[in-house]
Amino acid sequence: MNEPKTELPQGTLDLLVLQVAANGPIHGYGIAQRIKQISRDVLQVPQGSLYPALHRLENRKLLAAEWKPSDTGRDARFYRLTPKGRARLQEQTESWARLAEAVGLILGTAGGGAR
Amino acid sequence: MNEPKTELPQGTLDLLVLQVAANGPIHGYGIAQRIKQISRDVLQVPQGSLYPALHRLENRKLLAAEWKPSDTGRDARFYRLTPKGRARLQEQTESWARLAEAVGLILGTAGGGAR
DNA sequence: CTCCTACATATCGATCTGCTACATGTAGAA
DNA sequence: TTCTACATGTAGCAGATCGATATGTAGGAG
């Protein structure tokens, strides 16, 4: 009934999109599907977040795009990672790891740090 | 030289503050110190983020505050968790766990999903 | 005496980003 | 015909973090 809404913290969306795009050319709609699928429906990316993010990443030359027919025959915009994007993905991934570890440390305090 | 700047994604700060405040009354400055210390200097909370966050949390009745002299004798504002704050902390903690797991799944894709 | 650092709080404005709602259009199934 | 899946896009709002700036005390270095 009440599925908890997991909103994406700032910066997280870029990381996810870059990672998914790193696995080969894929269009926006597909990116959203994959994120949802791989995360077992935990992460759902609304279009209003997705497309602006894609445009952002393209403007910053982290992604490159071209129009090509999708599986269904209709034209879609396929994105692939640029070298710059690949570098950024690595940075972001490390940054996320640091953050996750640090937050884990703080949250671990609850049980009593010394335990 | 270039220490990587770990900026706090939206919402994360509240979680950290609530958690630290859960360990007993503490003033703002002390909260920042603790977060920095426990995270081994990975997480540093600027004043420009900290105090607005504290006011926010107080307005929402997640924290309660009172003026008391600190260890050094000067007056400081001590915060403690309200019952509502405790509930929120639990929610946020679970939410964070879900998010961290989901992001982990996506990032894990790099090595080859099936593996 | 003066300067600098640590303690302690606070606000303002810039900036970024994510979300809701809305708009467009095709194709196939019910 | 109506509804869903596919596929992209924009406008405007809401929310949060950050850097810069301000105030004031106390103690140690020079």
Over residues B36-95, the pLDDT tens digits come to 999 999 999 999 999 999 999 999 999 999 999 998 888 999 999 999 999 999 999 999
Of B12, B106, B110, the CB nearest to A103: B12
Distance from CA of A91 to the nearest CA of B (A): 10
Kindly identify which residue of chain B lies nearest to residue A16, measuring between CA atoms: B106
**CA angle at B42 for the pair B41 and B43, rounded to the nearest 5°:** 95
Of B92, B79, B85, B96, nearest to B30 by C-alpha is: B79
At B73 the pLDDT is: 85
What angle (nearest 5°) sits at the alpha carbon of residue B47, between those of residues A15 and B23? 85
What is d(CA A103, CA A95) in angstroms, rounded to the nearest whole number?
12
Measure CA of the first residue to CA of the last residue in chain B; give whole Å: 38
Contact list, A100 vs chain B (CB under 8 Å):
100, 103-104
Which of A19, A99, A104 is nearest residue B109 as measured by Cβ atoms?
A19
Contacts of B99 (CB under 8 A, 6+ apart): A6, A9, A12, A42, A43
Query: What is the average per-residue pLDDT within A86-105?
Result: 96
The answer to whether the beta carbons of residues A38 and B109 sit under 8 Å apart is yes
> Are A22 and B95 inside 8 Å of each other by CB?
no
Q: Which residues contact A74 (CB under 8 A, 6 or more apart)?
A: none
User: Is the pLDDT at B114 greater than 60, yes or no?
Assistant: no
Nucleotide of closest approach to A29 (CA, C1'): D7
Distance A115 CA to C18 C1' (A): 39
Interface test with A, best of B3, B39, B91 (most A CBs within 10 A): B39
Measured from the Cβ of residue B88, the count of other Cβ atoms closer than 10 Å reads 20
Mean pLDDT along residues A57-72: 94
Q: What is the DSSP letter of B111?
A: G
Number of CB atoms found within 10 A of residue A20's CB:
21
Q: In this structure, what is the dihedral angle of CA atoms B63, B66, B67, B71, given to the nearest 10 degrees?
A: -70
Residues in chain B closer than 8 A to A35 (CB atoms): 106
Taking the CA of residue B81 and the nearest CA in chain A, the distance in Å comes to 13
What type of residue is A48?
Answer: G
- Cα–Cα distance, A44 to A50 (Å, whole number): 10
pLDDT band for position A1 (50/70/90)? Answer: very low
